[in-house]
Amino acid sequence: MFDIGFWELAIIAVVALLVVGPEKLPGLARTAGHWLGRARRFVATVKQDIDREIAADELRKVLAKQAESNPLHDIIEETRQTIHDAQGKPAEPLQKPDGTVTQKPNDPNG
């Protein structure tokens, strides 16, 4: 993340020791660690929120696309048309699962 080496950290520590003093340096380090932890948690929370929004947006797009192409409605309409067409035709032979063909039983009403 930051390109800070050992010697840079050592110089920062010496300057902090001189400026703050040896008595207050542990408390300052603890406070700095606390604020750094809070900042990291905040960044992680923001990233999670952004990821959730992106996922929700993708889900909305998928649902909208699925709603546009309504295959169930198409299947129902195709089945209705097939039934309508078949009602006006005479009985046709049916094929059994073993491949033999049998005549469809006649309708007693007609």
What separation in angstroms does the CA of 108 have from each of 2, 105?
88, 9
Helix (H) or strand (E) holding 52: helix 25-68
Residue 1 confidence (pLDDT) above 80: no
> DSSP assignment, residue 106?
P
pLDDT tens figures, 39-84: 999 999 999 999 999 999 999 999 888 777 767 777 888 888 888 8
